[in-house]
Chain A
Amino acid sequence: MEFPYCKVLDFPKHQKRNRLLPWVRIGIFNPKNPSKIIYPMGLIDSGADISVVDRELGEALGYEIEKGQPETIFGMGGGQTPGFVHELGYLIENPDNSKDTIRYKDFVVFTKNNFPATLPQQTAIFGTIGFFRHLIVTFVFPSEIQIQTLSC
């Protein structure tokens, strides 16, 4: 499967800036109710140990967020983000053929609070646990991100 890089516009120090970032549409679902799927646009981040999703999406999928295992995520500069670990279903659809899918279950951290407002990515981050350990991911900047299952 090939996914395009996402063109992201922001205004650091009041100056217009365009960047190409590996933001990809990934379906997520609660294994207890796999028919309800939400498709966040998330950052593919090989530097993240575990996937992190904003709590609002977890609540919409029926999770009781605080019933998960408490965990703290540490970021660049020492910032800390508290959250709770849960099992999550992942669904990756080929943008060129929606019947071509990759589906698996793994862990995720749902944040205790909403993502920090200063982060450009406010929705989801896909890291080693929850993403890379199931897949072969090739970054071909600036044209595409290639994703295959490990069993290919």
Chain B
Amino acid sequence: MALSANNREVVATGSSLGEVLETAEKKGITNPTVFKPAPVRNIFVG
């Protein structure tokens, strides 16, 4: 995901770095903070 430069807003989400950078740039954010959160879709058993 991409956040605004002050880390206050989520400006893009996606499955790859390229995808979130492109989406952020389309919104005029050229220097977003990027971050890969742990996948919440994983199913853990135990």
Contacts and interface: CB of A to CB of B under 8 A. Distances in A.
A56 interface: yes
B17 A41 contact: no
B38 A40 contact: no
A120 interface: yes
Contacts, number: 48
Main secondary structure of the interface of B (DSSP, over half): loop
Contacts of B35: 40-41, 122-123
Q: How large is the interface on A (under 10, 10 to 19, 20 to 34, 35 or more residues)?
A: 20 to 34
Interface residues of B, number: 18
A14 to B, nearest CB: 9
B37 A40 contact: no
Given A57-B17, A117-B39, A122-B36, A37 B6 contact: no
A118 B31 CA distance: 28
